A and B are shown apart, each in its own frame.
Chain A
Amino acid sequence: AQKITQTQPGMFVQEKEAVTLDCTYDTSDQSYGLFWYKQPSSGEMIFLIYQGSYDEQNATEGRYSLNFQKARKSANLVISASQLGDSAMYFCAMRGGYQKVTFGTGTKLQVIP
């Protein structure tokens, strides 16, 4: 069974500052993928970043980076230089065997001008 835990229901960050959104996971699969999605109020799920379980380097995509600590089963998202448009729900997700993708409960990020 897969489980994703996001312990921060809501976060505030000052514009231009960095913010870390926490995600821990649990799985019995040896191979798995970890993702972060952004969901603005419009509802669309926007893919941000991906980390494979065997990737040794932390993934980065522009202002997004994923702090992957396999032994601790954590996959935190770091957003640098926050922008007002970053205000949204952020979901951590995991894909393991049998194509099943499980989502965490999400963190609502609000960027303050």
Chain B
Amino acid sequence: DTEVTQTPKHLVMGMTNKKSLKCEQHMGHRAMYWYKQKAKKPPELMFVYSYEKLSINESVPSRFSPECPNSSLLNLHLHALQPEDSALYLCASSSLAGGDLGELFFGEGSRLTVL
């Protein structure tokens, strides 16, 4: 069982809808990530939160809005998306203890389809 939980697993939305993807971890990790992955491509980094503060934004369009309400939760708010935003959205977390350069723990992903 993955220790990073993402909901929903599947989401279909229209271009005018507002929806959110949610991610939760209880491993005490203080870094959380959103990645976007298109079919047959590697994950592309979108955002990184370190100690609940946004530390990396990879020039993501404003129709994607991340939020980190506390150390266990990470949201990705979606508004006015385009069909090309359809992809697998992966959440991950990692430790920051002692400058840890260790692995990311991934959730199972939320598969988004924009009509």
Contact = CB atoms under 8 A, between A and B. Distances in A.
Interface in B26-61: 31, 33, 37, 41-43, 45, 48, 50, 55-56
Interface in A45-81: 45-47, 50, 52-53
Given A44-B108, A99-B48, A99-B55, 7 more contacts: A37-B106, A45-B92, A98-B56, A99-B56, A100-B48, A101-B92, A106-B42
B109 A47 contact: no
Contacts, number: 69
B46 to A, nearest CB: 12
B94 interface: yes
Interface stretch (B17-25, B66-74, B77-85, B96-104): B96-104
Given A50-B102, A52-B101, A98-B56, A44 B109 contact: yes
24 contacts: A32-B101, A33-B103, A35-B103, A42-B108, A43-B109, A44-B2, A44-B108, A45-B43, A45-B90, A45-B92, A45-B104, A45-B106, A46-B106, A91-B43, A95-B102, A95-B104, A96-B101, A98-B56, A99-B50, A100-B48, A101-B33, A101-B92, A103-B43, A105-B42
Interface residues of A, number: 27
A96 B106 CA distance: 18
Interface string A9-51: 0000000000000000000000111010100001111110010
A98 B104 CA distance: 14
Interface string A81-113: 000000000010101101111111110000000
A33 B101 contact: yes
Interface of B: 2, 31, 33, 37, 41-43, 45, 48, 50, 55-56, 88, 90, 92, 94, 96, 99, 101-109, 111
Contacts of A96: 101
A31 B101 contact: yes
Contacts of B88: 43
A37 B90 CA distance: 13
